[in-house]
């Protein structure tokens, strides 16, 4: 389990990184590496060229305003998890980040990397989808902002094109009087969830919205009806069976976890 050979570049700026990616459309971006390097070690991926952005200091920034949180491409998950200001503006991040793998993985894994990887079983894409986050993408052609709802295209497939680099993700602030929660069930602590629900509830109107992970090809966002939201969720998800759980069980979890997530979000002080 050793990576195949590849060319390695270590740009110091976003501009350099983008130039390198533009020059070699088959190049892959290396940030935290917590998903990419296992694939390399197993030789399930063999990119000819890795553009290692770990020295692009400008990408290692969290900007918190009253409107939201902008997370740079080099911000480690553990870093954001400990950022009280960001958690305050965007409590869902604080709910979701402790559920991402294990603390040591979060020390290295990046928030943006998890989103760019586009795993429908991961927590952060679901949070991004639920909040209507915006993915900022740089390339030789310039910068574009892509809303999360069109960024996630299929399992492990995003709107990112060859030559592009996600430089940051903007998570809008959770509106006032909105309760949030993330609940999930995984086989072992820290595993990908069999099903997970990230939810927001407007405590004044009762309006509830949830994003589902692990039960659809991309993070699935639902505006939940007041009447039997769990049943609505179960009818809306599209889970697949694997060695860990049947599709029927995952669908059942969507019902149960919806109920629990909404209750937790409502009860949130």
Partner 1 sequence: MTEEQHHITLHVNGVPRTATVPARRLLSDALRHDLGLTGTHAGCEHGVCGCCTVLLDGEPVRSCLLLAVTAQGAAIRTVEGLAGPDGALHPIQRAFAECHGLQCGFCTPGFLMTTAGLLDRSPAPTDGEIEESMAGNLCRCTGYQNITTSVRRAAELLAAGQGGDPAGPWAGEDPQEPVAEAPLAAGPYAPPPGGGVPGEARR
Partner 2 sequence: MTTRVFGERVERREDPRLLRGEGRYLDDLGHDALEVAFVRSPHAHARVLDVDVTAALDVEGLVAIYTHEDLPGRLADPLPLLIPHPALTAPRTAHALAKDLVRHVGEPVVMVVAADRYLAEDAADRVRVTYEVLPPVVGLDRAEEVAAHLVQEVGDVDAALAAAPRTLELRLDIERSASTPLEGRGVYARWDADDQRLRVYSSTQTPTSVRFAVAAILGLPDSQVECVAPDVGGGFGVKIMHPWPEEVLVPWAARLLGREVKYTEDRREHFVAATHERAQEQHVRVGFDDDGRILALDVRFLHDHGAYTPYGIIVPIITSTQLPGPYVLPAYRVEFSSLYTNTVPVTPYRGAGRPQAAFCMERTVDRIAAELGLDRAEVRRRNIVQPEQMPYDLGLTFQDGRPAIYDSGDFPATLRMITDLIGWDDFPRRKAEAAAEGRRIGIGLACYVEGTGVGPYEGGHVQVEPNGRVNVSTGLSSQGQGHQTVFAQIVATELGVPMEDVHVVTGDTRRFGYAVGTFASRAAVMSGNAIALAARELRAKALRIAADALEASPDDLEIVEGIVRVKGSPDAAIPLRTVAVLSNPLRYSFSEESRAATQFSLPVRGGPPVPRGEAPGLEGRDYYSPERSTFANGMHAAIVEVDPETADVTILRYAVVHDCGNLINPMIVEGQIHGGVAQGVAGALYERMAYDEHGQLQNASFMDFLMPYATEVPHIEIAHLETPSPLNPLGIKGAGEAGVIPGSAVLAAAIEDATGVAIARMPVSPSELFELQGGSA
Enumerate binding residues for partner 1 (CB under 8 A): 1-8, 10, 30, 33-34, 37-38, 40-42, 50, 52, 54, 78, 101-105, 107-108, 189-190
Q: How far is the CB of 194 from partner 2 (least distance, A)?
A: 7
HSE, CB side, 13 Å, CA atoms: give it for residue 81. Answer: 21
Q: Which x/- pattern over 15-54 shows residues binding partner 2 (rule: CB under 8 A)?
A: -----------------------x---xx-----------
Maximum alpha-carbon separation in the chain: 57
Contact between residue 164 and residue 143 where contact means Cβ atoms under 8 Å apart = no
The listed partner (partner 1, partner 2, none) that binds 172, CB under 5 to 8 Å by sort, is none
DSSP 3-state of 261: helix
Rounded to 5 degrees, what angle do the CA atoms 138, 85, 94 make?
Answer: 80
- By C-beta, is 37 or 207 nearer to partner 1? 37
The listed partner (partner 2, partner 1, none) that binds 12, CB under 5 to 8 Å by sort, is none
Q: Which x/- pattern over 154-193 shows residues binding partner 2 (rule: CB under 8 A)?
A: -------------------------------x-xxxxx--
Q: What letter does residue 239 receive in the DSSP assignment?
A: -
Q: How far is the CB of 82 from partner 2 (least distance, A)?
A: 21
Beta strands 178-186 and 193-202 are: antiparallel
Phi, psi dihedrals of residue 143, rounded to the nearest 5°: -120, 140
CA distance 137 to 134: 10
- By C-beta, is 138 or 245 nearer to partner 2? 245
The listed partner (partner 2, partner 1, none) that binds 249, CB under 5 to 8 Å by sort, is partner 2
Q: What letter does residue 97 receive in the DSSP assignment?
A: G
Q: 63, 104, 154, 246: which one contacts partner 2 (CB under 8 A)?
A: 246
Residue 1 binds partner 2 (CB under 8 A): yes
3-state SS, one letter per residue, for 9-25: ECCCCHHHHHHHHHHCC
CA distance 122 to 120: 6
Which residues in this chain contact partner 2 in the complex, by CB under 8 A?
1-5, 38, 42-43, 185, 187-191, 194, 243-246, 248-250, 252-253, 256
């Amino acid at each position: 389990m050793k990576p195949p050979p590849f060319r390695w570049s270590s740009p110091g700026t976003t501009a350099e990184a983008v130039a390198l990616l533009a020059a070699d459309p088959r190049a892959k971006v290396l940030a935290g590496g917590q998903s990419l390097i296992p694939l390399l070690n197993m030789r399930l991926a063999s990119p000819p060229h890795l553009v290692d952005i770990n020295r692009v200091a400008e990408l290692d920034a969290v900007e918190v305003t009253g409107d939201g949180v902008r997370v740079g491409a080099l911000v480690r998950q553990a870093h954001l998890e400990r950022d009280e200001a960001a958690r305050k503006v965007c409590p869902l991040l604080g709910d979701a980040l402790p559920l991402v793998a294990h603390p040591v993985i979060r020390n290295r894994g990046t928030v943006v990397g998890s989103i760019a990887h586009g795993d429908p079983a991961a927590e952060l894409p679901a949070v991004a989808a639920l909040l209507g986050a915006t993915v900022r993408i740089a390339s030789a052609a310039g910068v574009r902002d892509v809303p999360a709802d069109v960024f996630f295209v299929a399992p492990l497939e995003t709107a990112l094109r060859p030559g592009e680099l996600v430089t940051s993700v903007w998570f809008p602030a959770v509106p006032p009087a909105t309760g949030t929660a993330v609940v999930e069930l995984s086989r072992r602590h820290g595993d990908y969830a069999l099903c997970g629900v990230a939810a927001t509830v407007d405590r004044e109107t009762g309006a509830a919205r949830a994003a589902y992970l692990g039960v659809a090809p991309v993070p699935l966002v639902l505006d939940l009806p007041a009447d039997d939201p769990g049943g609505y969720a179960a009818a809306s998800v599209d889970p697949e069976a694997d060695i860990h759980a049947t599709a029927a069980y995952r669908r059942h979890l969507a019902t149960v976890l919806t109920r629990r997530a909404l209750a937790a979000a409502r009860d949130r002080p």
